[in-house]
Structure 1
């Protein structure tokens, strides 16, 4: 029955422990708190970093796109500068051609027949046709001189033109008023100029007579004069095809990226790309805000730039660049949503990567937290067993971190406590043995004292009988002499026993002193343990400082990697390898930062556990101090016992001396029979005094016995307290 009850009790205790562990884990256990801490520390910075990085990414994309598109527009302006120069060179080649020279030079026309002159004009017309056929950039060539020598390609009747009105138009005057001139054989020419239009008196007359001229974007004009006649012979005009120019504006990098490239003349004429009408509802004019701003900025000397505007219900990034050496402007328009779409793609990539790495970090963190929690729970279970006094337990955890150091310190502390308890038990057994001997000696002394009291009573009776019966004095004296011998033997024996009790008291006092020395060693060991725990706490704080320093280095590494990525993106394809390296560095910085944060959490937990261990050590120090106080009380009790035994020994010595004197005087008693009556009276009085002294001795011995019993009880209590510890 007893075994069954014990097994049921053990099962209940195990069940309660399991429930308590589950309760601790569910309601705020260490693992749950650390996991929650990891999630909070991980997710909050990730959200903040994502928001911050996305802002930077969008701003960076806009800035880089702005720079890139300004570069694209600037490159396009240089390309169109080349087109302008090519058109000017082409018209110079036409004027310098031998056939054109023959057609418009009076000196070369002299002496030619009409047939030869017609042939020269026909050859000149073929020359112009060849120019248009071989270069799609040009849509028309017009050599305007007079009705006989003018050539138009595409052709329309010269009769429709009023040469007098033509020479009064602004575009004619603009060409002929150019001061710079060149001499090409027999013709003098001006520097070619760019015309936005030659509609006045020329295009108008052709349209009036239903003659459709090829559409042109702008023209290159040059005048030529016959040196021989010294008269303005005519003007040559080379039209740039509007369809070709619009197609050129369409076929560029900006258009491929979803943008538009426009050309703006100094007067505000807008040339749009070929597919503008397909995707856009409105056509900009010189009064359109962004066109007006571009023209205004170039007039102020700002040759290139970028800004944002709204047109046709959408937001655009507008970039512009003035064509070098010319007043024309190249304008680029890119919808902002196309630019930001790349940032949104980047945002999606960052979010996906963040989720993946966050999941990985959480899984790894939970794994390590559960592993550490398992070891800590194991240590806690062993602590609970040791708290009940079982010093046979030992923590078997092989780790090279603070938890391993804690387990080693605990094992060392248990071994020290085990040694101290063993010494305490041995000392308690010795004290109990000495107290048993003292108790036995005290009992024997009490018995002897009772015998002495009885003998003294007999002596008193004998004295009375001697006074009454003088005739029987000899027999009584013989008996008295015999009793005196017994009393002397008993007194000597009592003196010897008192001497033994005194020695035992001294041994007990020495034993208590040894116990005090052991307790002092226990205090020293406990103090050393507290110092070790404090050093462990200081080491943990130093580790925390180092981790914070590593976290700072990780942040700076990440910032450096970000700057490197920006520089690599600015360089373009050339810095793609460096961009990959910078990305890897940034990833390593993120991983380092997360690792330092996890280690920082572990260090904080170790610091808390160190504080708990220090609290337990302080509590143990208080218990040892209480034990010292008990030892001091026992030592004091021994000192009192020793003093009482010393007093007893002195009294016994006095009694022994008195009895020896009585023994020496018995001869005198025998020789003084005649005075027996008086001596008997005196003997009776002395006997009463001895009886009183004996009673006092008995009381002192009884007190010694009671104190010995109390000391024995204290020793047993100490032994029972030591039995709690299992060693």
Structure 2
């Protein structure tokens, strides 16, 4: 009766194994696809997000940079054109009654082609406005005629009249959207009389930006495709390895100890390789145990029925040991997963902390360099301010000296006038003396000669005094111009002092900003320390997991001790094994659940 029950149990076990094997084959492909998809998504999601973020940032930077570069280029073109006209033609900008544009005495309206030489190698255009009226331009309409009827916007002219360069990204010229720069045109007196316009169609700039963006998107797509291919290859290999290890566990659960672990998986140096090595060790140990059990069953068969009670005790001990081994196996798998996850988290956190520390170090160096540069700039500004004060003082001294010289020149002029009067009186007296000497006859001839010489000297003195007067008048005119130029210089120096003060205040603001950056760097450094503390806490968690592993090892040792006690009991039962025929048969049937080589 007992043997029949055991045979039925074996049949049920075989049917269960066959059904489980079929189910496992059906789940194998879905398991592989699920793991592979998750691995690919885990690796691709951060990459896609990063590429999209970098792409958006790059597009924004390219657009801003190209617009800024276009404005700078147009500003340089306008400044160069203005400087070229100033160098080539002297004099002020003006418009005559016929509406012709002059630079000094040169009629530029008759030299319209001259402005084309500045734009022939590029896509930009130039125009000279006097007030809001266009007088000179390289812009042409659809009939290839110069657009001299253009009018500048009053708001633009108001801004340029203040001496400021006006920049705009959108200005309509004959229905075309332009990016333009308006540069003030000043006469010798410093008054703003017009504007130098340099502009470029927005379509040219937009087309160039779109070309750069398309190239960047193309490169990003290629990079993404490469990442997808690499991620798919790596994920496929990793998923195949995991599925192979999972199949080993399924085979062990079905009692199949004949399976072999793939050598390529055993050769892996990662956690999967360690898991495969552990499974191989488990298979070897189970094969050894099953073989020993088979040998033991044979010995029990020879022991006899008089040791049935001891055999039952041995069976119970074996069941307890199997349960303990199963619990240990489950705990070992769970611990391996937890330790693997913790190890990965610690590695990622270590990389983040290292990167944060490196960034904080770079940021600290940058703020220190900014601080030193700010201190140097402040010192330079102080020296420049002192130098400007000395310059102002020197100019005031020069002005005083010029005024004194001007006064002295006036006095010399008065003295020259006095000399002229004296010469006139002397000439008159000499004439009177000549008349008297003529009346005296022969006695007055000698006196007449002297009077004639005196008259000549008086005439020469009068001529010299006239020349001195002309020189003095010219000197006074030049002196007055010098005084006027010196007064203008004083005004410019006063304006320069104001600009220096404004620049100095700007440097103070920059210094304050540097101080704020240093404080923020300190905050970042503290945050990095907090991250390091968190990493230490995670290390503690891993240490706890290690302690649990040690406890499991202790349990395994206890299990080994129980196995040793069981072996001793079996040795005792070996003496009467002939009486355990029935028990040995049952044990043989149970052991047949495992397939061994």
TM-score (norm 2): 0.51
**Corresponding position: 1:417 with 2:417:** no
Instruction: Work out the CA distance in 1 between the residues paired with 2:587 and 2:133.
Output: 113
Q: CA deviation at 1:343?
A: 0.6
**Distance verdict in 2 for CA 1:279–1:29, change over 3 Å:** farther
1:452 match: none
Tell whether the 8 Å contact from 1:219 to 1:239 is kept in structure 2 after alignment. yes
Q: CA deviation at 1:279?
A: 7.0
1:64 match: 69
RMSD: 5.3
**Distance verdict in 2 for CA 1:61–1:418, change over 3 Å:** same
State the SS of the aligned residue for 2:248: helix
Tell whether the 8 Å contact from 1:306 to 1:317 is kept in structure 2 after alignment. yes
Q: CA deviation at 1:345?
A: 0.5
Aligned with residue 271 of structure 1, among 123, 135, 138: 135
Instruction: Work out the CA distance in 2 between the residues paired with 1:383 and 1:554.
Output: 45
Tell whether the 8 Å contact from 1:61 to 1:339 is kept in structure 2 after alignment. yes
2:412 match: none
Structure number with the bigger relative contact order (C-alpha 8 A, sep ≥ 6) is: 2
1:309-324 equivalent positions in 2, closer than 5 A: 309-323=171-185
Instruction: Work out the CA distance in 2 between the residues paired with 1:368 and 1:552.
Output: 29
1:454 match: none
1:241 match: 108
**Distance verdict in 2 for CA 1:551–1:340, change over 3 Å:** farther
Tell whether the 8 Å contact from 1:392 to 1:726 is kept in structure 2 after alignment. yes
**Corresponding position: 1:405 with 2:209:** no
Instruction: Work out the CA distance in 1 between the residues paired with 2:357 and 2:110.
Output: 60
2:258 match: 392
State the SS of the aligned residue for 1:218: strand
Instruction: Work out the CA distance in 1 between the residues paired with 2:21 and 2:255.
Output: 18
Deviation per CA, 1:466-520: give whole Å up to 9, x if none: xxxxxxxxxxxxxxxxxxxxxxxxxxxxxxxxxxxxxxx7x76996798699669
Tell whether the 8 Å contact from 2:124 to 2:198 is kept in structure 1 after alignment. yes
2:56 match: 51
Unaligned runs of 5+ in 1: 1-9, 89-192, 201-215, 221-237, 440-504, 560-610, 636-707
Tell whether the 8 Å contact from 2:297 to 2:588 is kept in structure 1 after alignment. yes
2:83 match: 78
State the SS of the aligned residue for 1:390: coil
Deviation per CA, 1:642-683: give whole Å up to 9, x if none: xxxxxxxxxxxxxxxxxxxxxxxxxxxxxxxxxxxxxxxxxx
Aligned with residue 233 of structure 2, among 336, 360, 367: 367
Deviation per CA, 1:418-469: give whole Å up to 9, x if none: 3444455555555555452446xxxxxxxxxxxxxxxxxxxxxxxxxxxxxx
> How many residue pairs were aligned?
378
1:330 match: 196
Instruction: Work out the CA distance in 2 between the residues paired with 1:714 and 1:413.
Output: 27
Q: CA deviation at 1:339?
A: 0.9
Q: CA deviation at 1:319?
A: 0.5
**Distance verdict in 2 for CA 1:392–1:552, change over 3 Å:** farther
Aligned with residue 538 of structure 1, among 342, 347, 352: 342
Instruction: Work out the CA distance in 2 between the residues paired with 1:21 and 1:403.
Output: 18
**Corresponding position: 1:723 with 2:579:** no
Aligned with residue 343 of structure 1, among 209, 228, 244: 209
Instruction: Work out the CA distance in 1 between the residues paired with 2:168 and 2:585.
Output: 99
Instruction: Work out the CA distance in 1 between the residues paired with 2:79 and 2:86.
Output: 11
1:217 match: 101
Instruction: Work out the CA distance in 2 between the residues paired with 1:712 and 1:313.
Output: 110
Instruction: Work out the CA distance in 2 between the residues paired with 1:540 and 1:219.
Output: 77
Deviation per CA, 1:570-623: give whole Å up to 9, x if none: xxxxxxxxxxxxxxxxxxxxxxxxxxxxxxxxxxxxxxxxx9xx9xxx9xx99x
Instruction: Work out the CA distance in 1 between the residues paired with 2:323 and 2:38.
Output: 42
Instruction: Work out the CA distance in 1 between the residues paired with 2:320 and 2:85.
Output: 105
Instruction: Work out the CA distance in 2 between the residues paired with 1:549 and 1:426.
Output: 59
Deviation per CA, 1:238-273: give whole Å up to 9, x if none: 2333242x32322225x64322111122x4341232
Instruction: Work out the CA distance in 2 between the residues paired with 1:515 and 1:81.
Output: 109
Q: CA deviation at 1:217?
A: 2.6
2:123 match: 258
1:416-435 equivalent positions in 2, closer than 5 A: 416-426=285-295, 433-434=302-303
Q: CA deviation at 1:331?
A: 0.9
State the SS of the aligned residue for 1:257: coil
1:181 match: none
Which of structures 1 and 2 has the bigger CA Rg?
A: 1
Tell whether the 8 Å contact from 2:138 to 2:146 is kept in structure 1 after alignment. no
Tell whether the 8 Å contact from 1:50 to 1:350 is kept in structure 2 after alignment. yes
Instruction: Work out the CA distance in 2 between the residues paired with 1:516 and 1:15.
Output: 28
Instruction: Work out the CA distance in 2 between the residues paired with 1:528 and 1:11.
Output: 28
1:433-448 equivalent positions in 2, closer than 5 A: 433-434=302-303, 436-438=305-307
Instruction: Work out the CA distance in 2 between the residues paired with 1:36 and 1:414.
Output: 34
Q: CA deviation at 1:33?
A: 4.2
1:572-587 equivalent positions in 2, closer than 5 A: none
Deviation per CA, 1:342-398: give whole Å up to 9, x if none: 110101111221222222222222222222233333333333222211223332222
**Distance verdict in 2 for CA 1:302–1:510, change over 3 Å:** same
1:195-234 equivalent positions in 2, closer than 5 A: 195-199=94-98, 216-220=100-104
State the SS of the aligned residue for 2:89: helix
Instruction: Work out the CA distance in 2 between the residues paired with 1:24 and 1:279.
Output: 73
1:356 match: 222
**Distance verdict in 2 for CA 1:272–1:57, change over 3 Å:** same
Q: CA deviation at 1:537?
A: 3.6
Instruction: Work out the CA distance in 1 between the residues paired with 2:257 and 2:123.
Output: 81
**Distance verdict in 2 for CA 1:249–1:15, change over 3 Å:** farther
Instruction: Work out the CA distance in 1 between the residues paired with 2:22 and 2:336.
Output: 36
Instruction: Work out the CA distance in 2 between the residues paired with 1:17 and 1:717.
Output: 29
Unaligned runs of 5+ in 2: 1-16, 364-544, 570-577
State the SS of the aligned residue for 1:315: strand
Instruction: Work out the CA distance in 2 between the residues paired with 1:23 and 1:75.
Output: 72
Instruction: Work out the CA distance in 2 between the residues paired with 1:529 and 1:258.
Output: 71
Instruction: Work out the CA distance in 1 between the residues paired with 2:23 and 2:307.
Output: 49
Q: CA deviation at 1:321?
A: 1.6
Instruction: Work out the CA distance in 2 between the residues paired with 1:427 and 1:64.
Output: 90
